[in-house]
Amino acid sequence: MVARVSTVAFQGIEGVPVDVQVMVAPGKIGMQIVGLPDKAVAESRERVQAALHASGLVLPPKRVTINLAPADLPKEGSHFDLPIALGLMAALGAIPADALADFVVIGELNLDGSIAAVAGALPAAIGANALGKGLICPAESGPEAAWAGEGMDILAPRSLIALANHFRGTQVLSRPVPAVRASPANLPDLADIKGQESAKRALEVAAAGGHNLLMVGPPGSGKSMLAARLPSILPTLSPTELLDVSMIHSVAGQLSGGKLSDRRPFRTPHHSATMAALVGGGLRARPGEASLAHHGVLFLDELPEFQPQVLDALRQPLETGECIIARANHRVSYPASFQLIAAMNPCRCGMAGEPGQTCARGIRCAADYQARISGPMMDRIDIRIDVPAVTAVDLIRPMPAERSADVARRVERARERQRERFQALDIPGIALNARAPTSMIEALAEPDAGALQLLRDAAEKFRFSARGYHRVLKVARTLADLDGSEKLGRIHLAEAISYRIPSDRLMAVA
């Protein structure tokens, strides 16, 4: 007899249905797993045998064959342990075979028969719900899976024995409840930053429209400090965004305790990050930092210190909003619609462009350092600002600084205006000016005659690329939204153009 259990294999953030078929037949004693298992799946044979033994089930001296169908789909991960064990238990009559028919099963087994947490419970639960099935998952992943739907059946046992008892009716497992991670109460506040008014303004504009931002300045001027305060002015995730983001974090195994958070992701990879760490992939495909920053912020501090090839790998996701990883036998894609915030010194010694300072290595100091960032990468950055050293006056007797909460309110209002406009234009899935499709740019941003003349002159003088031209319009649209104005005026375009043109410190790459 063949027992069947449904499970999933993850491709990107989607769970592809996999059928675990278990047959116990006379023949040479042993257990074999077929169907393109990776090493973790192949090793599940040992874990399953030990866990069944620990749970008091003795395997008969027969030949056990386990097929993971479809046979040509690669299976990765440790979550196949539980479906294999349950298939075996059903084949041996330890649990009723039809009890499993309405469930998708994922989970890793420990040798003592307890069930360990696995990545991907949320997408598995959503996939199961779409098929009209329930989910059996580890106890720790239960709170995460419970988000998939109120009406769906979810069993989150701690051990094989608890699950067998549930099916026998001697011990009932209660449905897990969806859990939320508490927001950190005291995020760093913009009021801590003295002076730097124009940098704070640029940060607000970037937050309002989701624009990419680069801060250039000498060491200790407060660039990292400014970036760290961005989360405090960003609005929380909408319910659909929350689910999108959590799916990615779930597949990456980064939802601690199965709890979801409505804070926008703010990812800060170190500059030693590899390409796989940043855009995803690796031996076992996992979402990278760019995908983990989906609907949030990817902050690259010390931008030129990243490997140039690694940085250039971000060019495609910055444009399309997804990371595509081609592998030998298949290709996976992860959503990666993030806002890039970057900070850098203008040169290796850090002082290029400072009044009264000259680099020991002259012009080459800045040229060589900045050349590590490619032109096309720079072209994708809408707002480039100088963050000069804070003046002594600002440090000693600062002007009263605005608090993050006030800025956050303006950002939220500007975002609301964008949402309403995109809804009126019937563009689904777009909520920020920075993400607006190019074909829509004319409908979004209609500059008046004076503004158009200014843009034409600037585009000629500074040789904007077509992308640059469109992005200036998008930033100007955000500036008008912050102003509460439907019309794009000269003042909005002038500010947007000033953000795009190269400053003294960014001469070499401009």
Ligand X SMILES: Nc1ncnc2c1ncn2[C@@H]1O[C@H](COP(=O)(O)OP(=O)(O)OP(=O)(O)O)[C@@H](O)[C@H]1O
Contact positions vs Mg ion (CB under 5 A): 224
- Least Å distance, CB 222 to Mg ion, is 8
Longest CA pairwise span in the chain (Å): 88
Query: If binding is defined by CB under 6 A, does position 40 make contact with ligand X?
Result: no
Query: If binding is defined by CB under 6 A, does position 366 make contact with ligand X?
Result: no
What string of DSSP letters covers 367-420?
Answer: HHHHTTS-HHHHHT--EEEE-PPPPHHHHHSPPPPPPHHHHHHHHHHHHHHHHH
Query: If binding is defined by CB under 6 A, does position 268 make contact with ligand X?
Result: no
Distance between CA atoms of 75 and 40, rounded to whole angstroms? Answer: 9
Structural tokens at position 402? 């605005």
Query: If binding is defined by CB under 6 A, does position 390 make contact with ligand X?
Result: yes
Helix axes 466-483, 490-500, angle to 10 degrees: 130
User: In this structure, how many other beta carbons lie within 10 angstroms of the beta carbon of residue 255?
Assistant: 26
Query: If binding is defined by CB under 6 A, does position 194 make contact with ligand X?
Result: yes
User: In this structure, how many other beta carbons lie within 10 angstroms of the beta carbon of residue 169?
Assistant: 7
Distance between CA atoms of 370 and 308, rounded to whole angstroms? Answer: 11
Query: If binding is defined by CB under 6 A, does position 324 make contact with ligand X?
Result: no
Residue number with CB closer to ligand X (55 or 404): 404
Q: Which amino acid makes up residue 304?
A: P
Helix axes 197-209, 404-424, angle to 10 degrees: 30
Residue 196: contacted member of ligand X, Mg ion, none (CB under 5 to 8 Å, by partner type): ligand X
Q: Which amino acid makes up residue 261?
A: S
Q: Which amino acid makes up residue 246?
A: S
Residue 217: contacted member of Mg ion, ligand X, none (CB under 5 to 8 Å, by partner type): ligand X
| Residue for token pair 């027969």 | 62
Query: If binding is defined by CB under 6 A, does position 114 make contact with ligand X?
Result: no
Interface with ligand X by CB under 6 A: which range of 71-79, 80-88, 192-200, 314-322?
192-200
Structural tokens at position 89? 């238990």
Residue number with CB closer to ligand X (121 or 340): 340
Query: If binding is defined by CB under 6 A, does position 193 make contact with ligand X?
Result: yes
Q: Return the residue of 96, 219, 437, 450 that touches ligand X, per CB under 6 A.
A: 219
Query: If binding is defined by CB under 6 A, does position 217 make contact with ligand X?
Result: yes
Query: If binding is defined by CB under 6 A, does position 221 make contact with ligand X?
Result: yes
- Cα 399 to its chain centre, rounded Å, is 37
Residue 219: contacted member of ligand X, Mg ion, none (CB under 5 to 8 Å, by partner type): ligand X
Interface with ligand X by CB under 6 A: which range of 6-14, 219-227, 326-334, 483-491?
219-227
Residue number with CB closer to ligand X (224 or 498): 224
Q: Which residue is nearest to ligand X (CB)?
A: 222
Q: Binders of ligand X: how many residues, by CB under 6 A?
A: 15
Using DSSP's 3-state secondary structure scheme, residue 182 falls into coil
Phi, psi of 77 (to 5 degrees): 110, 170
Residue number with CB closer to Mg ion (224 or 503): 224
Residue 225: contacted member of ligand X, Mg ion, none (CB under 5 to 8 Å, by partner type): ligand X
Residue 82: contacted member of ligand X, Mg ion, none (CB under 5 to 8 Å, by partner type): none
Q: Return the residue of 196, 232, 333, 337 that touches ligand X, per CB under 6 A.
A: 196
Using DSSP's 3-state secondary structure scheme, residue 250 falls into helix
Q: Which helix (H) or strand (E) holds 106?
A: none
Residue 220: contacted member of ligand X, Mg ion, none (CB under 5 to 8 Å, by partner type): ligand X
Query: If binding is defined by CB under 6 A, does position 346 make contact with ligand X?
Result: no
The residues that touch ligand X, with contacts defined as CB under 6 A, are 193-196, 217, 219-225, 343, 345, 390
